[in-house]
Amino acid sequence: MTDAVLRVSFAGPLVTYQDAGRVGQMRFGVPASGPMDRLSHAAANTALGNAPDCTAVEISVGGLSLECISGALSLGVAGGHFKVNRAEEGIGAWSVFALQKGDKLTIRAGSKGSWAYLAFAGTVNAPKWLDHTATHSASGFGGGALLAGSTIRVSDTNIREERHGDIERPSFLPPKDRVRVVRGPQDRFFTDTLIETFFSAQYTLTGSFDRMGVRLSGPKLEVGGALSIPSEPITRGSVQVAGNGIPTVLLADHQTTGGYPKIATVISDDIDNVSQMRANDRLSFVEISPQDAVQEIRKSATDRALYLAKIAEPKGTLGQRLMQENLISGAIANDTTP
C-alpha cells in the first residue's frame, strides 16, 4: 500500500472535490452537485483506469498549482483547453501522466473552457456529506474547496505507465452556441412576443457565473404578475426569469425550488456545454420537442459510452507496443508463408 501527498500552493476560487454527484436528495433542498462538465470528469477518470464516478478535483479558470511532497502516482487531466505544466514542462491539456515526489503541477486557464478535471490513480481522501464527496459550493459541504496550503491525500496509489499519453477528445459534442431547450414548464407566464424574443435573440454570459448558475444579458423578458407563483421544483438547466426580466441558466449547484417562472429548460447534453462557456461568450436558444430531446439524449448516450469504452483501453507500455507489432507482423508472415 502506497500513499501520496500533494500540497496545494495556489488555488483559484471554486476549485473543489467532485465525485459524480448525489442523486435523490433534492427533496431536502440538496441538488446533485458533481462536475459542471460530466463527460470531461468521466474522461479524466476513465482514461486513467478509474471508475467514471471517482472523486476528482474540479479546477476553475482560477487555476491550481500543487507539488507532490511524498509518494508518486499517475494523474489524468481533461476538460476545456487548459494549460498544463508538469515539472516546468508543458504537457497535453487532456492527458495521463505521472507525478513524482518533488514534481510541481500547474493547471491554468487556456484558450477555452471554464472547468478542467484532475483525477488520481488511487483513492482520494476527501470528506463526504450525504455519502458523496461532491462539493455543494454555496455551503462547502462535501469534499470542500481547495485553498493554498491544502493537502490532497491519495491512498493505494500506483503508476499506470500503460495509460500515459494524450487522451482522445470527444468529437461528437453538439455546437456550444446553439443551446437546445424544451419550452416551459412556466412558459404560460410569457406573452408570445416574449417567447419569440427568447428564441430569436442572442444572449451573452455575464460574469455572474458560478456553480449555481450563470446570469445572461440580452433582451429582457419582463412578465407582469408572475412574481407570486408558489415556489416550485427546479432542475439543472432551468432558464429562470427574475422579476427584472433577466434570465439565469441554473447549473450543477442549482437551487432546488424557486418562485420565478422558468421559460425553458436546457437539455442534459447541452447544459454541460453551457457550463464550459465563459463570461462574454454568446449563445442562442433553439427549441426542441420533449420527444425529440429524449431521442437526442439516447443517441448521444451511445456516443458517450463508446467514447469512454475506447479511452478506457490501456495504451500499453512501449515494450508491450513493440511486442504487439512483432506478433502481428509475425502472424502475417506466417499466414503468407506457403
Partner 1 sequence: MQKVSFYPVADHALLVQLGPEISDALTAQVLRLDRAIAANPPLGLRETVPAFVNLLAEFDPLVTDHQEMEAAIRSLFDAEVGPAPKGTEREVLVCYEDDLAPDLDAVSKATDMSPEAVINMHLSGRYQVGMYGFAPGYAYLSGVPTALQVPRKPAAIRDISAGSVVIAGPQCLVMTLTMPTGWCIIGRSPTEILRSDPDKPFLFDVGDSVKFRRVGRSAYDNLTKGRET
Candidates 60-68, 160-168, 197-205, 231-239 — which segment interacts with partner 1 by CB under 8 A? 231-239
Give the residue, chosen from 232, 281, 287, 303, that forms a contact with partner 1 under the rule CB under 8 A: 232
**Closest separation between CB of residue 68 and partner 1, Å?**
31
Question: How many angstroms separate the Cα of 176 from the Cα of each of 194, 196, 240, 270, 273?
Answer: 23, 21, 20, 7, 6
**Cβ-proximal residues to 155 (8 Å cutoff; 6+ apart), any chain:** 1, 3, 122, 123, 125
Residues present in the chain in total: 338
Give the residue, chosen from 51, 286, 294, 323, that forms a contact with partner 1 under the rule CB under 8 A: 294
How many Cβ atoms are within 10 Å of 236's Cβ, its own excluded?
A: 23
The pattern of x and - marking residues 20 through 49 that bind partner 1 according to CB under 8 A reads ---xxxxxxxx-------------------
**Closest separation between CB of residue 325 and partner 1, Å?**
39
Give the residue, chosen from 235, 278, 281, 284, that forms a contact with partner 1 under the rule CB under 8 A: 235
C-alpha Rg value of the chain to the nearest Å: 22
Beta strands in 210-324 (DSSP E): 213-217, 232-233, 238-241, 247-250, 257-258, 262-266, 282-287
Under the binding rule (CB under 8 A), the answer on residue 283 touching partner 1 is no
Under the binding rule (CB under 8 A), the answer on residue 309 touching partner 1 is no
Give the residue, chosen from 231, 280, 317, 329, that forms a contact with partner 1 under the rule CB under 8 A: 231
**Closest separation between CB of residue 29 and partner 1, Å?**
4
How many Cβ atoms are within 10 Å of 326's Cβ, its own excluded?
A: 10
**Closest separation between CB of residue 11 and partner 1, Å?**
20
Spatial strand order of the sheet with 151-155 comes to: 89-91, 81-86, 104-112, 64-70, 3-11, 151-155, 123-124
Size of the site for partner 1 (CB under 8 A): 48
Candidates 52-60, 178-186, 193-201, 318-326 — which segment interacts with partner 1 by CB under 8 A? 178-186
| Start-to-end C-alpha separation, the chain | 53
Under the binding rule (CB under 8 A), the answer on residue 225 touching partner 1 is no
Under the binding rule (CB under 8 A), the answer on residue 52 touching partner 1 is no
What DSSP element (H or E) covers 334? helix 318-336
Contact predicate 117/57, CB 8 Å: yes
**Closest separation between CB of residue 55 and partner 1, Å?**
19
**Cβ-proximal residues to 293 (8 Å cutoff; 6+ apart), any chain:** 180, 182, 267
Provide the β-strand partners of residue 8. Answer: 66
**Closest separation between CB of residue 129 and partner 1, Å?**
8
Instruction: Report the SS3 class of residue 324.
Output: helix
123-142: which residues touch partner 1 (CB under 8 A)?
Answer: 130, 136, 138-139, 141
243-272: which residues touch partner 1 (CB under 8 A)?
Answer: 243-244, 246, 255-259, 265-268
Q: Which residues bind partner 1 (CB under 8 A)?
A: 23-30, 130, 136, 138-139, 141, 181-182, 184-186, 227-228, 230-233, 235, 237-238, 242-244, 246, 255-259, 265-268, 290-291, 293-294, 296-298, 301
